[in-house]
Amino acid sequence: MRDAVVVEAVRTPIGRGRASGSLAPVHPVDLLAHSLSSVVERSGVDPALIDDVIAGCVTQAGEQSANIARWAGLAAGLPESVPATTIDRQCGSSQQAVHFAAQGVISGAYDMVLAAGVESMGRVPMGSAALPGDSRGIRLNERYPAGLVPQGISAELIGARRGISRAEMDEFALASHLRAAAAAQDGLFAPEIAPVKVTRPDGSVVEVAADEGIRPTSSLAALAGLRPAFYDEASAARFPEIGWSVTAGNASQISDGSAALLITTSERARELGLRPRARLHSFAVVGDDPFLMLRGVIPATRRVLERSGLRLDDIDLFEVNEAFAAVVLDWRAEIGAPAEKVNARGGAIALGHPLGASGARIMTTLVHALEQTGGRFGLQTMCEAGGLANATIIERL
């Protein structure tokens, strides 16, 4: 019976998604190409053996349009014979890339695949792909006549209905920064990061080797001083229960970055002298309420555990994407996972959330963290726009 294993996993550092960000001068094609070439170089595999490149990217417009996976593969020096495709499952795009790659390998359609993701949010702003017009159409609007809401309002509603206070959200955000800062200080991220040489507008070249968004000096007082990010009068009138607790400080950062994993079978790895590092054990993808769109992580977690035959206590590390503190706190209250096992090295609040790259970034971090801690099983899940969520369980080998 065929399986799917990760033999190498790397990511770029995560830069702030703004003009002054550390990775802002890097074209997104080159940003993705860097992760692709780095994972191939570290593995030592002949790139001609790669059957496909599957990359996630959310805002496929401008510099990220026209199948960025193909252009990045060529920019990375892969043979022209290696195909590539770009997929979009919103924030879970590159986690879905991992699923598709692993499922293709297990089925026998592939022997070796690069699963990756990229987003340069500073160069291609979120929402750039949406042209003027109604993106939902008559029939969808008829199904939800009261109207769907943006993600920020969804996060506010989740927090209000769960009874999560502003203080709890800010405490969670601070913990994310402190955990990420400690991991960076201890060198735990270094093995997974492929430093990027960046040519600045003045012609100088610098090497970016660390995540830019971590704020080790943050404080509860500083977080408490931030204004609500999504308040508007119409939503306040429609949802009087909202306490307006979501801020830029307890939500994910706008970021630039990429990540890539090399996936093959255990048998193929042995043939090529590669070391399998983690087995892709179980997969789930769910649809959930598109109104409270960010709660899909809860049924996704339950489904992947059921499919795996594992219990919650069997999981050594959990990674729940920190789109908003409210999402993870709601998930934790519902699922019952121990706080110390959830996002033990921080998450998107501290590290950043380059949309199409985050699934592969988190998976890369999870593979390395299991190796460094000696844990066996890791579970990763991500909320996605439209009421979607992916969940994956990996097993360290």
Give residues with Cβ within 8 angstroms of 203, minimum separation 6: none
Task: Read off the pLDDT of each residue in 87-101 and give the average, rounded to a whole number.
Answer: 98
Determine the pLDDT at residue 367: 98
Q: How much is the pLDDT for 244?
A: 98
27-37 confidence digits (pLDDT tens): 999 999 999 99
- Closest residue by Cα to residue 14 from 397, 355, 353, 395: 353
Domain boundaries, the chain: 1-125+147-392
Which residues are identified as catalytic?
A: 91, 353, 383
Per-residue pLDDT of 129-173, as tens digits, reads 999 999 999 999 999 999 999 999 999 999 999 999 999 999 999
How much is the average pLDDT of 3-13?
A: 98
Q: Residue 251: its pLDDT value, please? A: 98
Residue 374's region, left for phi above 0, alpha for psi from -120 to 50, else beta, is left
Q: Which residue has the tokens 């706080």?
A: 339
Reduce the DSSP state of residue 298 to 3 states and report it: helix
- pLDDT band, residue 246 (cuts 50/70/90): very high
The residue among 92, 33, 89, 40 whose CA lies nearest residue 63 is 33
- pLDDT at residue number 75: 98
Mean model confidence pLDDT for the chain: 98
Query: Any bridge partners for residue 342, and if so which?
Result: 318
Domain 1-125+147-392: what homologous superfamily? Thiolase/Chalcone synthase (3.40.47.10)
* pLDDT value of position 144: 96
User: pLDDT class for 339, splitting at 50, 70, 90?
Assistant: very high
What is the separation, in whole angstroms, between the first and last Cα of the chain? 17
Q: Are strands 52-56 and 112-120 parallel, antiparallel or unpaired?
A: parallel
Assessment of whether the complete model's pTM goes beyond 0.85:
yes
| pLDDT at 286 (0 to 100) | 98
